[in-house]
Amino acid sequence: MTVKKPLVQALQGKSDCQIPLWMMRQAGRYLPEYKKLRAEAGDFLSLCYSPSLAAEVTLQPIRRFDFDAAILFSDILVVPDALGQRVWFVTGEGPKLEPLDQNDFSGLDIGKINSHLAPVFETVSRVKDGLEDNKALIGFCGAPWTVATYMVAGEGTKEQAPARLWAYQDEQAFSRLIDILTEASIIYLKGQIEAGVDVVQIFDSWAGSLAENEREKWCLEPLRKISRAIKEAHPEIPIIGFLRGAPLVYQEMAKIADIEGVGIDTASDIDFARETLSGKKTIQGNLDPLALLAGGDALDEGIDRILEGFGETAFIFNLGHGILPETPIAHVEYLVAKVRAYSKATRGA
């Protein structure tokens, strides 16, 4: 008999399975074992491209907290790196990319995705070997828009102005870049699925900075294309879309046939999200990472509101964005125990 994975069950629409729990950025700098390994590994991209170390980092939070899912340790910016745009990480500053020539980016080559990212696929196989059968492995990519914001600016930017401006000034060229990234994301996600991931998540962290009509073009349309292509090749693999900062988009996401899960961010209204998505999509979210950092009443109230709001629907407990490096381990332990107790009491699982 195959062992059930609560994360996959929830994404199949079940609301009576154990409430699955994982955290965005769950492998990372709040964990002492991560910091130790990170210091030994040298630069961040070498860690992403070292299958043995990346697999170890992927499994660290599962060993410590017994989450229901591991998320592949990699980064959204391995895709521009694979396309031939040089990427590096500066400690304390974040990602840097060699400037993209907006008049000629014909050098970007999707033909190298599979060979360049072979170490990431190898990480997936190794994690699968180390993961219990009831745990899911999540693969991911950045959404074309979010990845493009880094490629155009050459670094993280506050309001993603360089990419937004270019999209207004030369819509055709920007559209070509989004098409390349859409194609690259499909190849990359298929590679992860063929190597063994059970679920994929598409991170559109900067969807919220776009005007509404621009969001349709640069976020929703690529999401429809990517999810369609993945579903055609791998109908059994659930897809989670996470468009941060744009709650009204849930009405549109509820209509995308090829995604099963919608990640909701910290600022989302719980009742609105439930009314818009429940019965159509599995909801994932949305504890404020700062409430988790703060602990105490803020944490209790945050967890209670989410469990009361979503506990009766198909639901995955998560944060509204990534866990912060200063978060005390004890607060994460408390969160896990509380969600588990609620799931046992209300669902018997």
CA distance linking residue 127 with residue 272, whole number of Å: 37
Nearer Cβ to ligand 1CP (70/339): 70
Q: Is 26 in the site for ligand 1CP (CB under 6 A)?
A: yes
Backbone angles phi, psi at 28, to 5 degrees: 165, -160
Residues 51, 80, 95, 208: which binds ligand 1CP (CB under 6 A)? 95
Nearer Cβ to ligand 1CP (93/212): 93
Q: Could you confirm whether 334 is annotated as catalytic? A: no
Q: Outline where the chain has alpha helix (H).
A: 6-11, 32-41, 44-48, 51-65, 78-83, 113-116, 118-130, 144-153, 161-169, 171-195, 212-215, 221-233, 250-253, 270-277, 289-294, 296-310, 329-347
Q: Could you confirm whether 342 is annotated as catalytic? A: no
216: tokens are: 């349709």
Q: Is 261 in the site for ligand 1CP (CB under 6 A)?
A: no
- Compute the least distance from the CB of residue 63 to ligand 1CP, in Å: 14
Helix 118-130 × helix 171-195 angle, to 10°? 40
Q: Is 24 in the site for ligand 1CP (CB under 6 A)?
A: yes
Tokens 């439930």 correspond to what residue? 274
Residues of this chain, 322-341, that bind ligand 1CP according to CB under 6 A: 322
Q: Is 205 in the site for ligand 1CP (CB under 6 A)?
A: yes
Residues of this chain, 37-56, that bind ligand 1CP according to CB under 6 A: 38, 44
CA distance linking residue 131 with residue 225, whole number of Å: 31
Q: Could you confirm whether 228 is annotated as catalytic? A: no
Residues 13, 14, 15, 25: which binds ligand 1CP (CB under 6 A)? 25
Q: Is 76 in the site for ligand 1CP (CB under 6 A)?
A: yes
The helices-and-strands tally (H runs, E runs) of the chain is 17, 9
- Compute the least distance from the CB of residue 1 to ligand 1CP, in Å: 30
Q: Is 107 in the site for ligand 1CP (CB under 6 A)?
A: no
CA distance linking residue 205 with residue 242, whole number of Å: 7
- Compute the least distance from the CB of residue 2 to ligand 1CP, in Å: 26
Nearer Cβ to ligand 1CP (122/300): 122
Q: Could you confirm whether 271 is annotated as catalytic? A: no
Residues 59, 71, 83, 210: which binds ligand 1CP (CB under 6 A)? 71
CA distance linking residue 188 with residue 191, whole number of Å: 5
24: tokens are: 């965005």
Contacting range for ligand 1CP; rule: CB under 6 A; set: 97-105, 140-148, 229-237, 304-312: 140-148
The pairing of beta strand 87-90 with beta strand 94-97 = antiparallel
Q: Is 188 in the site for ligand 1CP (CB under 6 A)?
A: no
CB 112 within 8 A of CB 70: no
Nearer Cβ to ligand 1CP (267/280): 267
CA distance linking residue 50 with residue 31, whole number of Å: 19
Q: Is 94 in the site for ligand 1CP (CB under 6 A)?
A: yes
Binding site for ligand 1CP (CB under 6 A): 24-29, 38, 44, 71, 73, 75-77, 89, 94-95, 140, 142, 146, 156, 203, 205, 322
